[in-house]
Structure 1
Amino acid sequence: MLAWIQRVLSLAWLAALLVLPLRAALRGEPPLAVAGWAALVLVAHALWLALTMLMAWAANRGDASPPASLRQWLQAWWGEVLTAPRVFFWRQPWRTQAEPDGPDIGAPGQPGVVLLHGFFCNRALWNLWMARLRAERIAFVAPSLAPVFGSIDDAVPLLEAAVQRLEQSTGVPPLIVAHSMGGLVTRAWLRQQQADGRVRAVLTIGTPHGGTALARLAMSENGRQMQRGGGWLATLSKAEPVDRAARFHCIYGHCDNIVFPASTAVLPGAAEVLHLPATAHVDLVEHPASWALARRLIQS
C-alpha cells in the first residue's frame, strides 16, 4: 500500500514540475517567472527539510547530545536533500521488490539479519544493505511493516514471521537492524513474545526510544504512539526487564531532523551508543559507520 501512496506522490511531484512552468509559459509570463515555478517545485522538499532541521535545532538546545555547529547542520541538510528523493521518490515507490529476501543464502549456523524500516517507509529503504548482505552471503529478511498508519503493536506479527524464517534457515538467533520506528516495533515484539533469547542483538538507528517532539504533529496512531511522555511508550518501558536494554546498540545523531531532542534516540542501559555527527534521519541508514557496526555485530 505504501508503495502506491508514494507512487502517487512522486508522480504528482513530477506533474507539478512539468505543468506549473508550462502553464506560466502559456500565459506569457516572463522566463524568470517560468524558471521560478520550476525551481520552487525542485526545492520544495529541501525547504521542508530545512524547516524540520530548524525544529530539531530548537529542541536540541540544552540536550545531552553534543551540540552541532552551523556547518554540521548545513552538511546534514544537504546530505538529506540528496538522499531523501532517492528513497521516497524512487526506491520505495518503484523498487520495493528490487532486492528479494535472502533467508537461505547464508551458511547454516551463520547469523542472519532482519531489517526493519520506520514510519512511512517500506523494505526498499534497505536496498543498498540487502545488496551488500547478498554479496557477502549473509541471510536476511526485510519485511514491509503494516498497517502503514496503524498501531505499532499491529506490526509485531510481521517481525515474528521474519525472525522465524531466519531461525529455520540458519538455526541461530538473528541480528535485528531497525531504523526509526522499527526499533519500537522490535521492543514491542520482545515484550509480546518474551523473545530475548531469540535475538543475537538489536541495532537501532535513529529510533525514538524516548519519543520525538515531532510526533506532536502526528495524525496516525503509530505517530501518536511516538510522542514524548506518551502513554504507549510509558507502558512499553514499564513492561521491560532492566537487563533487556543490554541487547541494544543505538546509533543516533545530533542533526537528526525527525527524532529530537537527539538524546531520545538512545535507550538507557544500551550496550553501545554511537553518535554520528552532521547526519540527518534517513541518511543515518546509509552512513558507512552504521553498516560497519552491523557487520561487527554479525561477526561477534
Structure 2
Amino acid sequence: MSLSAAGIRRLAVTLQAAAALGIAAGLVQLAGWPWPGAVAAGVAAILGSFASGIAFAFALSGRGLWVGRGNHPPAPPLELAATRRPLRLPEALRCFAAECVAVLRMFDWLQPFRAHAPFAAPLDALPGRDAPPVLLVHGYACGQAIWLDMQPALAAAGYRCEGIELKPVFGDIDDYARTLLAAMRRITAEAGRPPLLVCHSMGGLAARAALQLAGDEDVCAGVVTLGSPHHGSALARFGGGPNARQMRCGSPWLRALAAAETPRRRARMISIFSWHDSIAGPPCTGWLDGAGHIALAGIGHVTLLRHPAAVRAVLDALAELSARGH
C-alpha cells in the first residue's frame, strides 16, 4: 500500500525533527553544548539545508540547466516576452524568502497536518453573475491541502470549490487524467453545468490530458493553469515515478499531448506563470501557444498558491472564462 502525499510529508517532518535532534545530541555529547543552544543549532541546520535546496531549484530552473538545446521551450510572442525582466537584488531576496516561507508552510504544515481541512463555503455570487463550480487540481507529490491559502478568496468571489486527490503520488499523468475526467463528469451532472478547473503545476498537464480524453464532451468550462510546466521542467529529472519522466523537457509524452491539441481546446485555457518560478523552468515553459496568458514576476512556484498578485490573477482568469460561458 503506497503512502498518500500527506503521509509522505508527515514522514518527512518526522525525519527532519529526528535529524535536528540528532545534531543537537551530537553537539551536547561531543562539544558540551547546553541543550537549548544545541537544539537551536540543529533546527538551524535543517532550515539551512531546506533553504539551500530552494536556492538550487531557483538556479537550475531559472537557467534551464541540464536541458538539451533542442528541448528548451519555444520563444513566446514578443509582447509576452517583453514582460520579462531580471530582478533587482532586493526583489530577488524577497522572492527567495517568500518561497522559503511558502515551502515550509506548505510541506511541513498544510500538507502533512491539514490534508482533510474543509474548504471555505462560497459567499453568494456577485449580482448578475451565477458563478460556475470550480475544481481545484494539485500538482506533483501534493494533495488538495495546497489550496487552503487561496481557496477562501475564490469562495469569497462566489465560487463553490471542490478538490481532488490524484493517486498514486508517483503515478502516470494519463491515469490522473481519467480520474480528473470522472470528477468533471460527476460535477457536471450534479451542478447542471461543467466546472472551471484551476490547476497548479503538474495539475495543468493532467487537465490538458483529461480534455483530450473528453473530446467534444461538454464537461469543462475552461482551464486556468498556475505555474504549469507546459514544455517540461528542468527539475523533473530529479523526480520519481512516471509522472516525473513525463514532465521532463521535450519528453515524448509532452510532445504527443501538444500534437493532439486543437486551437479550440487551447483557446479555453489561461496560463498564469511567473518568470521567476523555482520549479517550472526554464522560464518560457509556462507559455502555451493559443492559450491566454497572465505573466507575473518575482514569485516562486509554491508562493504562487498564496501571493496576492497570483490570487488576483486566478480570479481575473476565472471571471474571463466565466464570461465566455454566458
State if a TM-score over 0.5 links the two structures: yes
The answer as to 2:299 corresponding to 1:294 is no
- % identical aligned pairs: 33
In structure 1, what is the Cα distance between the partners aligned to 2:259 and 2:46? 46
Deviations 1:231-252 (A, max 9, x none): 0011111111122111111111
Q: 1:92 aligns with which of 96, 108, 111?
A: 111
Are positions 1:183 and 2:204 aligned together?
yes
Distance in 1, Cα, partners of 2:157 & 2:139 = 25
**Structure-2 separation of matches of 1:122 and 1:67:** 32
One-letter amino acid of the counterpart of residue 279, structure 1: I
Give the Cα–Cα distance (whole angstroms) in 1 for the partners of residues 307 and 202 of structure 2: 18
Name the CA distance, whole Å, in 2 between partners of 1:170 and 1:106: 15
Give the letter aligned to residue 100 of structure 2: V
8 Å CA contact 2:277–2:300 kept in 1: the answer is yes
**SS across alignment from 1:197:** coil
Contact 1:97 1:124 (C-alpha < 8 Å) held by counterparts: yes
**The one of 46, 55, 60 aligned to 1:50:** 55
Q: Which residue is 2:5 aligned to? A: 2
TM-aligned CA distance change 1:83 to 1:195, over 3 Å: farther
The CA distance in 2 between the partners of 1:39 and 1:130, in whole Å, is 32
Check whether the contact 2:181–2:211 (CA below 8 A) recurs between aligned residues.
no
Q: Which blocks of at least 5 consecutive residues in structure 1 are unaligned?
A: none
Q: Structure 1 CA distance, aligned partners of 2:283 and 2:252?
A: 20
- Indicate if the aligned counterparts of 2:235 and 2:279 stay in contact, CA closer than 8 A: yes
1:79 to 98, 106, 115: 98
User: CA–CA distance in 1 between the matches of 2:315 and 2:253?
Assistant: 32
Pairwise CA distance, 1:102:
6.6
Deviates more, 1:53-62 or 1:207-216: 53-62
CA contact (8 A) 2:19 2:42 kept: no
Structure 1: how far apart are the matches of 2:88 and 2:18? 35
- Matching residue of 1:239: 260
* 3-state SS in 2 of match to 1:128: coil
Matched, 1:206 2:206: no
Rounded to whole Å, the distance in 2 between the matches of 1:37 and 1:10 is 14
Q: 1:155-234 residue pairs with structure 2 within 5 A?
A: 155-195=176-216, 197-234=218-255
Q: For 1:162 and 1:131, how far apart are their aligned partners in 2? A: 21
* One-letter amino acid of the counterpart of residue 61, structure 2: A
User: Structure 2: how far apart are the matches of 1:179 and 1:196?
Assistant: 23
2:153 to 123, 132, 145: 132
Distance (whole Å) between structure 2 residues aligned to residue 40 and residue 157 of structure 1: 42
Q: CA deviation at 1:101?
A: 8.7
Q: How does 1:8-19 map to 2 (within 5 A)?
A: 8-19=11-22
The alpha carbon displacement at 1:184 in A equals: 0.3
Number of residue-to-residue matches in the alignment? 299
Q: Offset of 1:173 from its aligned partner?
A: 1.6
Letter in 2 for 1:267: L
User: What is the CA distance between 1:220 and its match in structure 2?
Assistant: 1.6
Q: CA–CA distance in 2 between the matches of 1:279 and 1:291?
A: 12
| Deviates most, 22-31 or 42-51 | 22-31
Residue 25 of structure 1, aligned match among 28, 32, 36: 28
Q: CA deviation at 1:54?
A: 1.4
Q: CA RMSD in A?
A: 2.8
The residue that corresponds to 2:69 in the other structure is: none
Residue type at the aligned position of 2:93: L
256-265 or 15-24, which deviates more = 15-24
| Aligned match for 1:256, one of 270, 273, 277 | 277
Aligned to 1:69: 87
Secondary structure in 1 matching 2:64? helix
State the 1:257 CA deviation: 1.2
Q: Deviations over 1:45-98 (max 9, x none)?
A: 111001111112322999765132242332221111111011101111111111
- Cα distance in 1 for partners of 2:110, 2:255 equals 34
Contact 1:110/1:172 (<8 A) preserved: no
Q: Name the SS of the counterpart of 2:262 in structure 1.
A: coil
Q: Is the 8 A contact 1:163 1:174 kept in 2?
A: yes
Deviates more, 1:180-189 or 1:106-115: 106-115
